[in-house]
């Protein structure tokens, strides 16, 4: 099912492909709105963003083609030992094959190995399939946002204890 897929750390050459995947995915689901990563300048420079201490971004690749990715980020304003699962997007042809789950597993494992005790995420109801996957991983819904992500366009917030 996932043979031939490589999960690796982000490289600068991935910036353009990943920005396209993020924005295309949000557009597909009608979630390309203000206050989301669709309009974040950092979406065009993920490699640079993930040079920050306490962060890591995984890229899924097959035969040299970037399929998507996801990362862990120490979002400003979160509780101590809490990180955020961020920029988790896949190309439409890579969805439904377990790749998203594999990326989430990598992210959660990395977070735990690096001293985080909780993982927070922000999303939108338009991303129904993602919500189901997060629930399967044990993320629980919150009544409001945590931290200062600046993503006021997201109105679903979830937290998982590691």
Query: What backbone phi and psi angles, to 5 degrees, belong to 19?
Result: -60, -40
Q: What percentage of the chain reaches a pLDDT higher than 70?
A: 99
How far is the C-alpha of 40 from the C-alpha of 60, rounded, in Å? 22
> Closest Cα partner for 94 from 18, 13, 10?
18
How far is the C-alpha of 76 from the C-alpha of 58, rounded, in Å? 21
> Closest Cα partner for 59 from 2, 17, 118?
17
Which pLDDT tens digit goes with each residue over 81-115? 999 999 999 999 999 999 999 999 999 999 999 99
Number of domains in the chain: 1
Identify the domain containing residue 21 by its residue range. 5-161
How confident is the model at residue 33, as a pLDDT? 87
Average pLDDT value for residue range 28-43: 90
Which pLDDT tens digit goes with each residue over 38-93? 988 899 999 999 999 999 999 999 999 999 999 999 999 999 999 999 999 999 99
3-state SS assignment for residue 160: strand
What is the domain-level CATH number for residue 47? 3.40.630.30
106's enclosing H/E stretch is: helix 99-113
SS (H, E, C) 41-84: HHHHCHHHHCCCCCCEEEEEEECCEEEEEEEEECCCCCCCCEEE
154's enclosing H/E stretch is: none
Q: Is the pTM of this model over 0.85?
A: yes
């Amino acid at each position: 099912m996932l043979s031939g897929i490589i999960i690796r750390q982000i490289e600068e050459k991935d910036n353009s492909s990943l920005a396209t995947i993020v924005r295309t995915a949000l557009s597909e689901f009608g979630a390309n709105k203000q206050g989301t990563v669709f309009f974040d300048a950092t979406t065009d420079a993920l490699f640079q963003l993930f040079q920050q201490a306490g962060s890591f971004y995984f890229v899924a690749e097959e035969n040299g083609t970037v399929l998507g990715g996801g990362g862990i980020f120490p979002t400003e304003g979160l509780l101590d030992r809490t990180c955020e699962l961020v920029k988790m997007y896949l190309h439409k042809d890579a969805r439904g094959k377990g790749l998203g789950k594999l990326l989430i597993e990598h992210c959660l494992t990395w977070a735990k190995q690096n001293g985080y005790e909780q993982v927070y995420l922000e999303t939108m109801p338009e991303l129904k399939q993602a919500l189901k996957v997060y629930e399967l991983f044990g993320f629980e819904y919150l009544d409001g946002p945590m931290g200062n992500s600046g993503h006021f366009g997201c109105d679903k917030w979830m937290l998982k204890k590691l």
